[in-house]
Amino acid sequence: MSDTKQNIRHLSLEDLTAYFASIGEKKFRTKQVHEWIWKKNAQGFDDMTDVSKELRQKMAEQFSFPSLSVDATQFSSDGTIKSRFTTYDGHKIEGVLIPTEKRNTACVSSQIGCSLTCKFCATGKMERKRNLDFDEIYNQVALINEQSEKTYNKKLSNVVFMGMGEPLLNYKNVLKAIDKLTSNEGLAMSPKRITVSTAGVAKMIRQLGDDKVRFNLALSLHAADDKKRDSIMPINESNSIDELISALNYFYEKTKNDITLEYILFKDLNDSIEDAEHLVKIYRQIPTHLVNVIEYNPIAGAEFTKPDEDATKTFTDYLVAHRVNVRVRRSRGKDIDAACGQLANK
């Protein structure tokens, strides 16, 4: 991508209007081209089939049109589809389409790599190369939406920011991408069907409250006391559980949006009745509507294993007995390394 050319996806409607006026084009061109860029998810100027070749040429001389390309696609036996995308500058990211009877969900990445080094996550072992731009995040969702329509004859119903990277460390781009996804100019999705998952950046959780966002929030908790959480999630050293509880309460007070706690069960680490007690205490301090207990998905070079079914049942039964709204989330796409914590550009 040439440094001298502006990315056409970064032009506002007003910018686009001004550009077409400056080259003597009619007003309707703005809407036409804008729709190609966003609603129709054009991947380049040549896709704009009802725009004259001459005008496409003019735009190509003036602007760049960086797009993701699908580099590899893997199909799981359970219907999950994992795509590896290549960015305009040659980096790889992954996104996953998770179909169920009721909904088709895109699990998307927000960064190339990740800087948080959570011990149980394959992405955490990769270096963070850069943040994804808002248009790259949007492009990723739109491509997975096309996949959903083509394979399952259904549009995406939900988007979860649970792929590669920490969304709240790419705050502006993630919010701008969600604005586009929920706008009538874009995919017109309901913000209530979008969930941003964070490893716990207390300051930015509060910022979400101040910005009165309309989407839901999930906290990757994974351990219910600071010592254990420090050992598997280094971010906890600067964002303690108490700080996160306070930030989540602030977020809820400002937005009234759903908060989910995510809790991966690790054998002999966080699966005891004592751990369940600690989790109940945290649950009671936050207006959370759900605890997702997630089965651990093995990754290379990690020492963790998942507890057996009996231990999982004992743990979740304790939560239920103490009036915790809990759901055991079975992993999807494990056979293609598409499950929670497994995304590493394989």
Active site residues: 94, 340
Secondary structure (DSSP) of 53-99? HHHHHHHHHHEE----EEEEEEE-TTS-EEEEEE-TTS-EEEEEEEE
The encoded tokens of residue 222 equal 């994974």
CB-based contacts of 185, cutoff 8 Å, min separation 6: 13, 34, 38, 39
Query: In 3D, which of 297, 318, 220 has the Cα closest to residue 260?
Result: 220
Going from the C-alpha of 10 to that of each of 15, 26, 134, the distances in angstroms are: 9, 21, 9
User: Are residues 34 and 185 in contact, defined by beta-carbon separation less than 8 angstroms?
Assistant: yes
Instruction: Report the chain's C-alpha Rg in angstroms.
Output: 21
Please, what's the b/e burial string for 276-308 (b: 16 or more CB within 10 A of its CB; e: otherwise)?
bebbbebbeebebebbbbbbbbebeebebebbe
**Max CA separation in the chain (angstroms):** 72
Distance CA 106, CA 96 (A): 6
The encoded tokens of residue 39 equal 């609603």
Burial of 251 (0-12, 13-18, 19+ CB in 10 A): buried
CB-based contacts of 13, cutoff 8 Å, min separation 6: 30, 34, 185
Residue that the structure tokens 């839901």 belong to? 216
